[in-house]
Structure 1
Amino acid sequence: MSERAIFRFTCRKYYQKNKNLYTYREALAQYYHNLPVLSSAALHQFAQTVGECLFETSSLPYYLIDEGNYFKNQSVTLVANYETVLPMRLLEQRYEHSTALICAVKQGNLFLAQKLYQSLITDISHIHRSKSPIRNAQNLCIIMNSLLRSALQEIGIHPYLLDKLSGEIAIKIENTQLYTALQSFCEQILIKYCELAQSYRYQNVKPLVHEAITYSLANLSDNLSVQIVADTLHVNPDYLSHLFRQETGQNFSEFINQERIRQAAALLKSTSYPIKQIALLVGYNNTSYFTKQFQKYQNITPSKYRQSNN
């Protein structure tokens, strides 16, 4: 709602109680016409910027109220819409974070998965299905186990492997009765499924290259280079670079860019995260460079890719 609309409503209410206001009519009218009107686009940009900078979310929840209808019954309309819309926005945000989390696990991107997991935990921290904190923590682990098992089934991992892993996790969940242990175990579930996704996608390469890929996918949002990965694995960077190309058919930087764009495409499809935020999540600090790289591998801009997939 614009300042102009608020001011108009205030003047009408005040005028009913104080008839002397009529003597200032021209001055008030001039002031009223000079007030700025906040467009819906500007409001959306404001909500998005504040959400990203202060709350690490895609946007603050807000609701646009039609000025004409609002003043017919201002108190009822505002309260009813606010109470309905805010929980809806929070629910949408929770589902969006869980969808993005699934995408990250499918790609084996542990760093991004852990970051999204923290956002999801914040979203559901107020939800208590049981009076027992331990039962609530167990329920969260069970949900995580089921969610990620289904996600990896979609990328073609054999049900035998998934059943073996999810069965072991399920037994450990029921046998763990410490609240803090259950909290940390939920993150361990995330790690195990990310590792399984990584091993499935690159199971036929030599151990050193597999190790380099695993490390890179787990830290995809960080600054990565052959030198950094080689230092981490305590090997010669030239040797690693040569072996990497021999096993994968591409050099290391091409592999990293391709994986980042793959992850970005999945997020563009499944979430409404701003493009700038997606670029940062997959390791690009410069949005223009991200757009250039996305166009190189996908032959389309990120915004057009999102439109065509929605």
Structure 2
Amino acid sequence: MKIEFMQMLEKLTASYNINLTVMTPPFEGIENFDYGLRKALDPQFDWQDFGRLLFQQVPPKTLVFAQGAFELHFAFFFLPDQPDTLLCVGPWSSGAQSAEKVEWCEKNLDAAANQVIREYYNAVRVVDNDILKNMLYAMVSLLYPDGDLASQEWLEFMPLNFLPDIRCFDLPDFKNNLPAELVAERYAAENRVLDAVTQGDTATALSALEALARFRLKPRFSNPIRDQKNLTVILNTLLRKAIERASVHPYYIDQISTKYSLQSEEIVTEEDCHRVQRDMVREYCMYVQQYSLQQYSPLIQKVINHINLHLDSTLSLKSLAALCYISPSYLSNVFKQETGQTLTDYISTQRMARAANLLRTTNATVASVAEDVGILDVNYFTKLFKSATGLTPTRYRREKHDR
């Protein structure tokens, strides 16, 4: 049950892009539980003492919701029957800084330190406080079937709610290390998007994109829409390199990259930007699913790419073998071994898939579609198409045509 619970909790915090920190004595590795804020403020901070203080103040069988320094929220609770394991969820923010905190920062910090604090806030996930707390309580309650889980809210939680010494903000560790931690977090989120797209994993890629969106880059233009366009162009460039790693042919990469380069210039609102970025990630993942050849050897990659890009040409085992300077029998054996189907079957499948797409999306005649996929005999094409889809080309168009 505890293993299943931890898996559920990890999925919940990951979906919200919020830290989950396991704290156990001697409390090694917990210094980044708040994305490095406290470490930057006080490089000599006693983390063992901090951990011991948390263990003393969080009661057993209790879910503590605590508001700490800089108006950040955390949740703490012990695992049942494991008094040496304290779980920390957070930090998260429930909204923009309060007017009082903004005034305090402007009054006590110089411009550089104030900018660091603003960037820090941009890196902390903003969520609906009530919804997240209710979800956490419902989840932690699963560990207490007898209903003996208590809940407490601490607004003056001493281990977290300290008044920083403003002299700390002038230390190099604050002005350099904390921004570096946040940049590292942003790059990690960016890499999660690219890794997921390289695998064609749409759900993970979209979730990682949402996590990346919480980081606000320093504006480079006075026009915020220009900044949004630039971010979308940058994402487009990164994604095209990601699917290149997945062995997608440059022909297809150029198609999708050009499409979204044009769409990026049409952005007029921030919502346009988010929509284009989500569509972009979905379609790049689809291209990996459809065109990635990374599981094949270079030889078979070359053959498949040639087939897909020349479906309107005469394609035979002999001509393809000559293209690769190998014998037809060798190509036939290797192709069947790597793809699980014969070369002839693969060519026919790709031609029928291309024909189905043309019938569904264009008004070209059946004869023209047949010619576009390399079959000049319309009757033969009709026979092949019906065998592949169960419908004649004319009926397929009538039933499937995009309107």
Say yes or no: TM over 0.5: no
Q: Name the structure where helix makes up a greater proportion of residues.
A: 1
Scaled by the length of structure 1, the TM-score of the pair is 0.43
Scaled by the length of structure 2, the TM-score of the pair is 0.34
Whose relative contact order is higher, 1 or 2, with alpha carbons under 8 Å and at least 6 apart?
A: 1
Q: Name the structure where strand makes up a greater proportion of residues.
A: 2
Structure number with greater Rg is: 2
